[in-house]
Chains A and B, each alone.
Chain A
């Protein structure tokens, strides 16, 4: 029982990342009809927003007096952090410690901006082109973006820890009546799950309860009619592209303490996120979220030794097996709408 609870929790945080990336993907597909293979790169760019903020907070200059010798035997000058000089030791240390959550403030405008530039500068030229062209151009863009990041940040993972307050783990088992140390779960993964639920809820609320969201939903259902009413739906869809980029970016920002970010982390999530979108149903926002969490949990269960003993290697293929089964029984995915990608 403890293993089941533990793997469910693991699946929820994995599913959170899948759901957030898939939500952005399906948002772009549902509004603009574009299959965006650069969406994983947006997740990676978000993570590197956190790395950038963390590095900015750690900018330093050399102290004027040497405090020893370096590895070459030359006088060594300590690094003096600007942030501590400017804001004092306590506030400076706090800013460095909380650099990941604070990066959200930096990442939102940056990611929306990147989304606008991507959509206006490149993707809009491919609206009327076949999906194969869209896939090629966005996949190419993803490779370019990851090579740019590698050029500036290197290929090695960059540790970006969570604030001290969220390091360590929580003993869930005791709360549920188990022995101590049986069901342990890291604090930051709980934060990530809560954050993703809030973000998903925020996107749904935005689409559901604002006039802007209502117009976007109407445009998703019938673009031509909305256009005939004199509404500039293209402009709104461009904004939605920016919002989808921000959602992927924020998912990346908050993911950095879970695994050290590297330039190809977007590609690691991309294929799985597409499977999530297809399983959830192309263009269905609730479907993407539901499939994200479902496949995350299934993937975790498939990693259980007891399961792998019965079907060796199942952990590597479970998502694809489930995708095949669902698409055979429900060709439009779990919550797919009729007519989407069926022309």
Chain B
């Protein structure tokens, strides 16, 4: 005989109550925090992670200026900048979804571990719902992965490696800045036009992810038009004097030197190349030429007169609308806002950070939610205009922006310290667009968006 009080009805009751009891907290939790750092008050916090110390601190300072300006404009302060020229009209100066925008900042130090730590702190302690900024691809890739895990959106700053939206792409990450492939695709036809199709290239490449992808891209693009790469030498990122790498170029038979360097490396390698008379040299019956695929106004300033006549590419230039017309509307509005507040024109790093902040805010407004998955959905395949780069697409397949690329050349006689480059050509977006399965971007998977919580 059994004395058990278990009955079928009792078991069902108990199960029902138990299940409801277990589900209750989760139900309330998921309602309270549908996603990481869901803003519940009258404000929303954005996290700006830029190099505030280290060699790219000046670039980081310019990014931060642009972020501050963007926040002011979103909150209805100042002259509104590119809000009035942006093709999407959801931003009306009342913040994002009616919430006043506030921000916190982190110092990436241009070190992946430090950048991850500062981003993590902004997400966990300050409740940042979006992270943006940075001046290095290594940092961008690291922070993008962190944001994916944490369930917040990452709007990349200055990152040019193919890997950011290639093998290391993530669903929660978006890049407005152009990449190494686009630089090469934009430069190659201009180089052919300027220097001919029969050239021998010697390249010096910074030995890290950005340098490798830049070298691979420029090699493919220039060889496709007839140039030959006779040597590629990897240089340590910590190198300061490049004379011993430049010297072998003299007798290599090359008539073009490609410097796949950025920042201090670029300033020093270019300075050394000019000191060794490469710019005055004749090889194979042609003038020796130097190409710097990725330009930066701040680095051009650092290189001084050595930049004169050197061809490279940029994501944007503050003279674009004046020189190339209304297609680049938004440029002048941003330059006026930035110039009035800070007294000098913005850099391309500043423009990309400003645009990313507006794009994020607009995506939230359009999706009517701060939920990262809603933002992802709003940004994927989004076509826009009026942010200074001309018509632009945020491609769904890889979260890369496709827009025109600016080919520039160092001015021989700059009129002032802001006017260091001249625009040679603007290569249309369709000439720099590649298939999502391009081998240079292979190996990655966006995965699914992660709302966190």
Contacts and interface: CB of A to CB of B under 8 A. Distances in A.
Nearest to A178: B251
B248 A305 contact: yes
A265 B275 contact: no
B302 A159 contact: yes
A156 interface: yes
Contact of A268 (B238, B271, B304, B339): B238
A138 interface: no
A10 B277 contact: no
A194 B277 CA distance: 20
A2 B302 CA distance: 32
Counting chain B CB atoms within 10 Å of each CB, the highest count among A157, A184, A299, A305 belongs to A157
B54 interface: yes
Majority SS of interface residues in chain A? mixed
A158 B241 contact: no
Given A156-B58, A157-B264, A265 B304 contact: no
Contacts of B177: none
Nearest to B319: A71
At the interface, is chain B mostly helix, strand, loop or mixed?
helix
Contacts of B299: 156
B251 A303 contact: no
Q: Please tell me the size bucket of the interface on A.
A: 35 or more
B245 A71 contact: no
B251 A3 contact: yes
B306 A159 contact: yes
A308 to B, nearest CB: 8
A304 interface: yes
B99 interface: no
Interface in A276-333: 299-300, 303-305, 308, 315-316
B448 interface: no
B57 A155 contact: yes
B431 interface: no
Interface string B215-249: 00000000000000001010010101101110110
B54 A189 contact: no
Interface string B375-410: 000000000000000000000000000000000000
B106 interface: no
Nearest to A300: B244
Nearest to A316: B236
B243 A189 contact: yes
Contact of B305 (A10, A157, A159): A159
Interface residues of B, number: 48
A32 to B, nearest CB: 29
Contacts of B305: 159, 161
A259 B272 contact: yes
A96 to B, nearest CB: 13
Contacts, number: 121
A161 B418 CA distance: 19
Given A155-B57, A168-B277, A7 B244 contact: yes
Contact of B251 (A2, A168, A169, A259): A2
Interface string B54-68: 111110000000000
Contacts of A182: 250-251
B243 A14 contact: yes
Nearest to B418: A71
B236 A315 contact: yes
Given A71-B318, A161-B305, A258 B57 contact: no
A72 interface: yes
B198 to A, nearest CB: 20
A10 B244 contact: yes
Interface string A256-284: 00111010110011000000000000000
Contacts of B344: 71
A169 B276 contact: yes
Interface in A1-46: 2-3, 6-7, 10-11, 13-14
Contacts of B205: none
Contacts of B248: 3, 6, 303-305
Contacts of A308: 233
A101 interface: no
A71 to B, nearest CB: 5
B280 interface: yes
A189 B231 CA distance: 26
A240 to B, nearest CB: 28
Nearest to A264: B55
7 contacts: A7-B244, A72-B339, A157-B303, A169-B275, A186-B277, A304-B248, A315-B244
- Identify the 3 closest CB pairs spanning chains A and B, nearest first: A159-B304, A303-B244, A155-B57
Interface of A: 2-3, 6-7, 10-11, 13-14, 70-72, 147, 150, 154-159, 161, 168-169, 181-186, 188-189, 258-260, 262, 264-265, 268-269, 299-300, 303-305, 308, 315-316
